[in-house]
Structure 1
């Protein structure tokens, strides 16, 4: 009876301790902006703000919270742009790291007073520093552009998750230039107020607009689309035509008109020379702007791969611009039923976006109690505070793919708690056995039982991998038979 009473007291104390711990961390999470997540959604980001919505596209941002448990917060942005659309020129009060989830884009931004344009394809990662003027274009004729981004609120003015300063614009959105007093802006542009009024009142479609493809292209738009040789021939022809036209003019033209025509011819020749000088200069500038290259996540070989999945990570040593922002990037695919082994990020908070599939994530409090154990599906965004143990498990129905950001540009070096390359395996010895209160032989038997590392099989994942191998093997043995029987004679 006494033993039962003691056991009951211990259970009550343990339950009280767990409840106190959960209450403390939940309270920390709730401190900011009256955020009250459900216990099973504690580390899911659900505070969505729609920043922009037009016929041509939209941008929404998930705002992160977490109080003192977060070493550094990131907001996660989602941009969708319809084919042939433009996110108008602007600059932000936050560094903007973009990942092209699908489609192709052109980003233009000003660097050292020069316009630099970069074409991005699916899988590309690109950094736009805070305060840098830029625009985004969906260059595809028939494909929607999807971008995932990280936005650093540490640099923000705190008015919103981030603040856009639109350079282009009109009635909606207003250009920052339209706020200046008319006389000031007229003087600055050296253009009449009537002319400026046309510019600053015409655009009313919002920050993301359709490119007007129905309007006939100007001669210079067509000219810029030509290759270098055609540009040269085109300009030469224009100069020659102009000079022939001059020769046909009446000899009675007065001296003033003749001088004006000479100046015009000279201007055309200068233009002809300068265009190609500038193109050579542009080539040099492209070399100078190498630091503004993109890095494609899908082109990289996995850092880890086995029968149950793979993972790849980008840090500041792989893509230098990340070093300036102190941000890392990762991409993981788990096969059906596979599990990312329980692990800890010792250097960074992790933000993850489920790209495909569904599964489960479990996160543990420092005292060993459950912080969150919940189902995740495509579109869900989770975060894991630094030092908190966690694992992800793919559903039995199919693979789980997720992409995300970490709050460190150094190699994250996650510490795996279980598996063939785990902390437990490395620390195996009498001290570890004593810590668990078992014999060293028992401890070794348990710790060495798992032969896989990092991405681990579950019973249904093992069966899935076995079936895949068997199918591949059957295909390899079946092919020679088909050839022998003359079935593939047509090849």
Structure 2
């Protein structure tokens, strides 16, 4: 009987352990295969998108793309661009979905606060006694990163972050917010939660028609309560503004005078504030940063999966410079280069379910006609000009236009697209809504044409075998096509 009880106990323990492990494996698997929120993409005509609103702040401005455009609604994303002046600070904030930023120009400092991680950057106490007394405990905080032109910065959902411009020129950052990501459990609205400054109401107003209708319904219910508050406008303030002053003072162990400063409503400052005194944070010197990047480049090639030891939550790499020509995945000396940053290169992108591609096309060069099997592609033109054509599943041309710097074009999943550079060349970044996004080419080596038998092509298009061979072998370059002698400028 004792033996039976012992065996029963061991069996039950094994079953509990097996169930626990199965649950964890299930969670990891579902996390890796998380689905984006489905949207209706009944698009008959795509457009070049430009910022529809500019919001001025004390030390810079923010450009907002229209979230009600059918193109962005199809991809379920939001696009924002910050221009931060010298000594300007983009105040801390967090959002309800993952985001990926690209530094268009300038340099600065970027800080992110990951919940549960220690403050590993600490203020040195090796100073004079008088300085120590004046400085008090000094300072300690989480990792601060040097950022510069070409850096890609990845941020998981709900991570508070800030940016400071310590360079001589403007620091310009364009940001994609993946509203359709499974991490967003609120609704299909872009919500920015500011932890400082005095955010203008327009930021909270960046909603779609659905959100506006919900806001109108909620406004009627809250109107009486808002009228009874202390004469302060309750829309467009930072998060601290909504708390009761006495409760907030007790929670932070500060006096009400300081609480008033946290909650004050100075619309002139906005979300990019000017730093008046010397900006002091603990951060590595530039040389140390460069050594770190060199080590990171050694891992640029796919590693074939992670063993779980390379990175932990608190040591995640959040940035990677995509501008270096030496890191190009595809290079053609007569056409340009293409570089991709995906989850193999920057593992945190597996969590975000995003990736990015940078393309530099030389004069009159062509990026091979292709489609994106797994992802929407949101193109931001960073330099130059050129022509883009996009074709739907019906064979209709839904976009055919010239593009220039600062414009956005959305290429829906599976839609075929081709890009050609103009006289000044064409450069763009493509935010993609998949961590390992790939393209399927319609022409060139490794494309649909070169991998299909000649007789299949001949019968599919109703042409001779000779014509099918010419069609199949007309371009032997990979992805980036050099201009032909007969190529015309436009």
Q: Which band: TM-score by shorter chain?
A: 0.5 to 0.7
Query: Deviation at 1:84?
Result: 0.8
Query: Deviation at 1:96?
Result: 2.0
Report what 1:327 is aligned to. 354
Query: Deviation at 1:89?
Result: 1.9
Report what 2:95 is aligned to. 92
Helix, strand or coil at the partner of 1:188: helix
TM-score, reference length from structure 2? 0.66
Helix, strand or coil at the partner of 1:60: strand
Query: Deviation at 1:196?
Result: 3.0
Query: Deviation at 1:151?
Result: 0.5
Q: Is 1:147 aligned to 2:211, yes or no?
A: no
For 1:432 and 1:369, the matched residues in 2 are separated by 21
For 1:176 and 1:446, the matched residues in 2 are separated by 60
Q: Is 1:44 aligned to 2:48, yes or no?
A: yes
CA deviation map 1:275-326 (0-9, x unaligned): xxxxxxxxxxx99843134211123521111111111111111111111111
Report what 1:309 is aligned to. 336
Q: Is 1:117 aligned to 2:180, yes or no?
A: no
Match of 1:369 among 386, 396, 403: 396
For 2:356 and 2:149, the matched residues in 1 are separated by 15
For 1:416 and 1:137, the matched residues in 2 are separated by 41
Query: Deviation at 1:377?
Result: 1.1
For 1:222 and 1:97, the matched residues in 2 are separated by 26
Q: Is 1:179 aligned to 2:233, yes or no?
A: no
Helix, strand or coil at the partner of 1:105: strand
TM-aligned CA distance change 1:92 to 1:444, over 3 Å: same
TM-aligned CA distance change 1:168 to 1:416, over 3 Å: same
CA deviation map 1:433-488 (0-9, x unaligned): 11122222331133223333322233358799xxxxxxxxxxxxxxxxxxxxxxxx
Report what 2:157 is aligned to. 130
Q: Is 1:53 aligned to 2:56, yes or no?
A: yes
For 2:199 and 2:99, the matched residues in 1 are separated by 26
**Counterpart contact for 1:70–1:386, Cα < 8 Å:** no
TM-aligned CA distance change 1:461 to 1:377, over 3 Å: farther
TM-aligned CA distance change 1:319 to 1:301, over 3 Å: same
Consecutive unaligned residues in structure 1, runs of 5 or more: 1-25, 31-38, 228-285, 465-491
Query: Deviation at 1:68?
Result: 11
CA deviation map 1:209-237 (0-9, x unaligned): 11103xxx6xxx8897999xxxxxxxxxx
For 1:225 and 1:351, the matched residues in 2 are separated by 33
Report what 1:238 is aligned to. none
Helix, strand or coil at the partner of 1:322: helix
CA deviation map 1:25-44 (0-9, x unaligned): x99348xxxxxxxx5xx243
Match of 2:192 among 164, 172, 178: 164
For 1:133 and 1:86, the matched residues in 2 are separated by 14
**Counterpart contact for 2:375–2:437, Cα < 8 Å:** no
Q: Is 1:408 aligned to 2:439, yes or no?
A: no
For 2:265 and 2:69, the matched residues in 1 are separated by 43
Tell which deviates more after alignment, 429-438 or 444-453.
Answer: 444-453
Report what 2:204 is aligned to. none
Bigger Rg over Cα: 1
TM-aligned CA distance change 1:198 to 1:363, over 3 Å: closer
Match of 2:319 among 278, 294, 309: 294
Query: Deviation at 1:107?
Result: 1.6
Q: Is 1:209 aligned to 2:209, yes or no?
A: no
Query: Deviation at 1:401?
Result: 0.8
Report what 2:371 is aligned to. 344
Report what 1:28 is aligned to. 42
**Counterpart contact for 1:357–1:399, Cα < 8 Å:** yes
For 2:362 and 2:415, the matched residues in 1 are separated by 24
TM-score, reference length from structure 1? 0.66
Consecutive unaligned residues in structure 2, runs of 5 or more: 1-39, 119-141, 201-235, 286-310
CA RMSD of aligned residues (A): 3.3
For 1:130 and 1:366, the matched residues in 2 are separated by 33
Higher helix share: 1
Superposition misfits of 4+ residues, deviation over 4 angstroms = 63-72, 156-160, 170-173, 221-227, 460-464
Query: Deviation at 1:152?
Result: 1.3
